[in-house]
Amino acid sequence: MSILYGAQIVGVSVALPKERINLAEAYPDSERIMQLTGIRQVCVAPQDKTAADYCIAAAERLIAELNFDRNLIDGVVFVSPQPDYILPATAGVIQRRLHLRKELIAFDINHGCPGFVYGLFQASMLVQCGACKNVLMCCGEVPTKYINKDDKALRMTASDAGAAVIVSESDRDIKSAFDFVTDGYGLENLYIPAGGTRLPKKVGVTDKPFVDAEGNVRTLEQINTDGTQVMKFDLDNVGKMIDSVLRQMNIAKDEADIFFMHQINAFVINRMVKKYKLDAKKVPICIEDTGTSSSASIALAMCRTVGNEKFSKAVLCAFGAGLSCAAAVVDLSATKFLPVAFI
């Protein structure tokens, strides 16, 4: 549990691929699944686009719309399990392409769906400790590149996206609360087994397709998941994390302005609303035409729902690969949210 002081979320921007798959056309026999998930379209990046490309597009728009002096950015944090290169860090790629100054801190964090909250935590720590005054935090993924074409479960939910956030030093009396839980014992329930140094790719071995218990085709080089176990972890931990961050801030659950949950699917979010006795009107679901955009999904929900409203007590909660769950209470009353860009 941590409370951080003096770090303001200045702006949030999201970019997604303009290319989409209409699920009703691609899977005409899956109307019931679409009704459960609430997802009818997913965004798919072209083969030559990376997570960083969408993060950079989101960052360029954010800098322009805020009229922010890019020379004042002295920290870059990139959160993604899919870097542009094995070496160096993609944060340096972002610094270079955005023409940021050289005298800055730049590093990557390898994380999946909870990455948005992890990134805000890291950016806020850099500001609080005085290492930086203005941190550009980017997070995003292109999971569709790691999903088998015959993996119906993941093909009907996952989307590619990138988000950019600027976190700056503030003179306001502002604070944020964070809490985290990680269950590495369950990592096999959501991971890509092959491609790292533990299990290098091997033609004829790691690229050999197999069929899981639900009939989804996968290889060891693609996303492997046990949806039942992941959902159990999520339902067991989300409520605890939300209660923890609210307690740190001395805020009652009904006093929170809004709950931005990881946009996994409508079925799971509605289960959480019911189990944790949340006000459904305060829990936006924004996935019908964008699918589950991994670590960018909370930013996407923000940009699609906040508008001109002012939320000083916003609860964020993200969960997924790790297995991991991360929650925060943040002040968004002075934050600018840009309309979502499809590029």
Contacts of 29 (CB under 8 A, 6+ apart): none
Residues found in the chain = 343
pLDDT at 309: 86
Give the three-class secondary structure for 67. Answer: coil
Specify the residue for token string 């809490």: 179
Q: Give pLDDT < 50 ranges for the chain.
A: none
All domains in the chain, ordered by first residue: 1-343 (3.40.47.10)
DSSP state of 200: -
pLDDT at 335: 97
pLDDT at 213: 84
Please state whether 82 falls in left (phi above 0), alpha (psi between -120 and 50) or beta: beta
**What is the Cβ-side half-sphere exposure of residue 290, based on CA atoms within 13 angstroms?**
26
> Per the structure block, which two tokens stand in for 41?
């379209």
pLDDT at 1: 79
pLDDT at 108: 98
Contacts of 168 (CB under 8 A, 6+ apart): 7, 8, 10, 127, 133, 134, 135
How many CB atoms sit inside 10 A of residue 227's CB?
A: 17
Q: From CA 51, how far away is CA 46, in angstroms rounded?
A: 11
pLDDT at 307: 79
Distances (CA, A) of 265 to 100, 114, 228, 285, 306: 37, 15, 14, 8, 20
Classify residue 48 as exposed, middle or buried by CB count within 10 Å of its CB (0-12, 13-18, 19+): exposed
